[in-house]
Amino acid sequence: ASRLERISKNVRRLRRIWETSEEAVETSIQSLTERALSKNQYRESERLTLALDDDAIVASPPFAHWALEEAVDNALTHTDDDTAVTVRTENLDDCVRLIVEDDGPGIPPIEVKSLGSKTESQLMHGQGLGLQVIHWAMEVSDASLSITER
């Protein structure tokens, strides 16, 4: 039932992302992270490390907290129990990059390839909708998502 509940939640999130034209709001990285990771399972995870610039202020896309929540959830859920997950910031000239990284096996290529599609087929589909939420939350706000392998 929990997989079905997650899929249902993400379908509702995707619909809201596609149908809403909310503007970015100025917020602190700390506030954005607290909103995204407010669930107890994240706070209590010994695998999760936060390395944030507490003073960083960003123009946060309206659904950035969902994107961050999904990225951390994916990293914690789809890796082994001994995989470390880090959320960190990187200050660039004109923006702050928020990075979620882990030392796990990486995202399967089929998952990455299916990003950005609003439809699925028998040959091209992901295992869930979490990565789609991340992609579309960034896409509709002119932010960017990059997935890199080590």
Would the pLDDT of 43 be above 70? no
Global confidence as pTM = 0.79
C-beta separation of 76 from 45 below 8 A: yes
Beta-strand ranges (E) seen in 76-140 are 85-91, 96-102
Which domains are delineated in the chain? 2-139 (3.30.565.10)
Answer with the residue of higher pLDDT: 119 or 129.
129
Q: Average the pLDDT over 13-28 and give the result.
A: 84
Q: How many residues does the chain have?
A: 150
**Each residue's pLDDT tens digit, 74-124:** 888 888 888 899 999 888 888 888 889 998 888 888 888 777 665 555 444
User: What CA–CA distance (Å, rounded) separates 37 from 28?
Assistant: 14
Q: Would you state the structure tokens that stand for residue 105, as one six-digit string?
A: 């096996």
Comparing CA positions, the residue from 133, 59, 132 lying closest to residue 98 is 59
For residue 119, the model assigns a pLDDT of 57
pLDDT tier at 125, thresholds 50, 70, 90: very low
Around Cβ 71, how many Cβ atoms within 10 Å? 24
Type and span of the H or E element at 11: helix 2-19
